[in-house]
Amino acid sequence: MIDFHCHLDLYPNPWQVVEECQIRKVIVLSVTTTPSAWHGTFALGASSPNIYTALGLHPELACQRRFELDLFDQYLPLTPYVGEIGLDGSPELQGSWPMQQDVFRRILASCAVAGGRLLSIHSRRAIIPVLDCLAAQPDAGTAVLHWFSGNNQELTRAIEQRCWFSVGPMMLCSKKGRALVAKMPQDRIITETDGPFTRVDNRPLLPWDADRAVSVLCEIWGLPLVEAREQLLQNVQSLLDRHTKVLGHAT
């Protein structure tokens, strides 16, 4: 089971969630929304070999927390994983747009200087600007577009730019989401929840709920469950292999 974009630190009972992840052997990319949250979130996964903690600065907080960029650079050598980062072009965030771009570009530049990172990227209403920033920093690392919500043309460009995609149960609820996923390369897809921000049955999605996406992927791919799971495991392994080598030691 794989949840490659989850805000473990934002659950009301994070240690309980971590314990359950260990029992269920869920592979988790635990993203953070601010550099100042790094140490606390890292501690949550520190004794779980399947929890990988990413250093992030969420676009919705980029403006308000831009002074934490120095902290970002300071912590970057500690992890091969970066997220949640990106851009958000929603109308309510228009005021912070120039600053969001500054922050995102600076983060990508830091990642390039550091030798590349695995990047979990938010791109709501901002796919093209995100892809432009990535194209300008080809050494920033491997981009995993989380919850892709663009159109077909944008998807084609993202695929051409060698992006990966993390897809969750919410995205697969809609016909549009399923049609997009059907066009994504099968060997560049992994599952996610974006919990606790996403909800089902009046409760937040938990990391193991990423499994709900797998049965939909089976239908889309025309594969039996066991083969779809195998494909996803191979995908996550090849993604992690690329970046655990970055720092020259196992993480």
What is the torsion angle, in degrees rounded to the nearest 10, for the CA atoms of residue 127, residue 209, residue 206 and residue 246?
A: -60
What is the torsion angle, in degrees rounded to the nearest 10, for the CA atoms of residue 90, residue 135, residue 121 and residue 88?
A: -10
Q: How many CB atoms lie within 10 A of CB 136?
A: 12
Q: How many CB atoms lie within 10 A of CB 30?
A: 28
Site string for Mn ion, 32-71 (x = CB under 5 A): ----------------------------------------
Least distance in angstroms from the C-beta of 28 to Mn ion: 13
Residue nearest to Mn ion (CB): 194
In this complex, which beta carbon is closest to Mn ion, that of residue 4 or of residue 208?
A: 4
In this complex, which beta carbon is closest to Mn ion, that of residue 84 or of residue 154?
A: 84
In this complex, which beta carbon is closest to Mn ion, that of residue 5 or of residue 188?
A: 5
Of the candidates 177, 132, 175, 174, which has an alpha carbon nearest to the alpha carbon of residue 157? 132
Least distance in angstroms from the C-beta of 83 to Mn ion: 8
φ, ψ dihedrals at 213, nearest 5°: -75, -25
Rounded-to-integer distance, Cα 132 and Cα 164, Å: 16
Least distance in angstroms from the C-beta of 197 to Mn ion: 6
Least distance in angstroms from the C-beta of 250 to Mn ion: 26
In this complex, which beta carbon is closest to Mn ion, that of residue 30 or of residue 231?
A: 30
Q: 168 by DSSP, 3-state: which? A: coil
Q: Which stretch binds Mn ion (CB under 5 A): 160-168, 192-200, 208-216, 230-238?
A: 192-200
In this complex, which beta carbon is closest to Mn ion, that of residue 9 or of residue 194?
A: 194
Q: Which stretch binds Mn ion (CB under 5 A): 66-74, 81-89, 100-108, 160-168?
A: 81-89
**Residue in 68, 194, 209, 211 binding Mn ion, rule: CB under 5 A:** 194
Rounded-to-integer distance, Cα 139 and Cα 116, Å: 6
Provide the strand spans (E) within the chain.
2-6, 27-30, 51-53, 81-86, 117-122, 141-146, 164-167, 189-191, 199-200, 203-204
Least distance in angstroms from the C-beta of 198 to Mn ion: 9
Sites of contact with Mn ion (CB under 5 A): 84, 194
